[in-house]
Amino acid sequence: GAVVSQHPSRVICKSGTSVKIECRSLDFQATTMFWYRQFPKQSLMLMATSNEGSKATYEQGVEKDKFLINHASLTLSTLTVTSAHPEDSSFYICSAKKGLAGGYEQYFGPGTRLTVT
Amino acid sequence: AQTVTQSQPEMSVQEAETVTLSCTYDTSESDYYLFWYKQPPSRQMILVIRQEAYKQQNATENRFSVNFQKAAKSFSLKISDSQLGDAAMYFCAYRSPSGTASKLTFGTGTRLQVTL
């Protein structure tokens, strides 16, 4: 199988604080991971593409200094929301792609619901 | 840039009946991949079916099949013998073949209700 986990599943933080979300590929190595944001009743919006050992590539309009992404190993990528504000409240989903020649399928994590108060 | 359009925000089907969800896309590429994902209330994204653009044969996975019309840039999903567990949001997605690190472009989704 290809299982991706996220931790935490839910987090509540106060405005102005930072929060870290982890994305792990449990049974495969993921050279590429993706971070998405999903607002209620809307589609998934790609925020950034994370490659192991290199800087993340951010989509247009996504603040890289606010959404810090670290892909330090082949099984772990982290998204840190810095100085969170209520408008950052959303559902964050990661996905992982197997290896360099791992085909075209992305495996999705279960998501993290962030609430900023 | 590629765009994916799902024109049906909501659909309803009776249990055991068949329903078709529509998806159109816009691209200038000749080779690409298309996907249907299911997102149940748990919010976990589940791959339902995929289609390679170079393949003329429509993909089929058990009760799920697609009608891929490359010239029309249409990629509809047919669910046969609908079950209560099929109730979910369904997203159509497009992926370029190379040079974009497997980026997926999603449509806006169709919420499918399954009634008794």
pLDDT tens profile B49-101: 999 999 989 999 999 999 999 999 999 999 999 999 999 999 999 998 765 55
User: For all residues of chain B together, what is the average pLDDT?
Assistant: 93
Query: Taking CB atoms and an 8 Å limit, are A106 and B102 in contact across chains?
Result: yes
Query: Taking CB atoms and an 8 Å limit, are B104 and A108 in contact across chains?
Result: no
pLDDT value, residue B36: 97
Token pair listed for B16: 């055991």
More confident residue, A102 or A48: A48
Query: Taking CB atoms and an 8 Å limit, are A106 and B106 in contact across chains?
Result: no
Q: What percent of chain A has pLDDT over 70?
A: 95
Q: With bands split at pLDDT 50, 70 and 90, how would you rate the model's confidence at A41?
A: confident
pLDDT value, residue A31: 82
Give per-residue pLDDT as tens, A66-84. Answer: 999 998 888 999 999 999 9
**Given a cut of 70, is residue A102 above it in pLDDT?**
no
User: What distance in Å separates residue B16's CA from the closest CA in chain A?
Assistant: 26
pLDDT value, residue A101: 56
**Given a cut of 80, is residue A89 above it in pLDDT?**
yes
Q: What are phi and psi of A88, to 5 degrees?
A: -85, -10
Q: What are phi and psi of A86, to 5 degrees?
A: -55, -30
Q: In whole angstroms, how far apart are CA B78 and each of B55, B67, B87?
A: 18, 8, 14
Q: What percent of chain B has pLDDT over 90?
A: 87
CA distance B52 to B31: 8
Name the β-bridge partners of A7: A22
User: For all residues of chain A together, what is the average pLDDT?
Assistant: 91
B3 interaction partners in chain A (CB closer than 8 Å): none
B84 touches chain A (CB under 8 A): no
**Given a cut of 80, is residue A1 above it in pLDDT?**
no
**Given a cut of 60, is residue A28 above it in pLDDT?**
yes
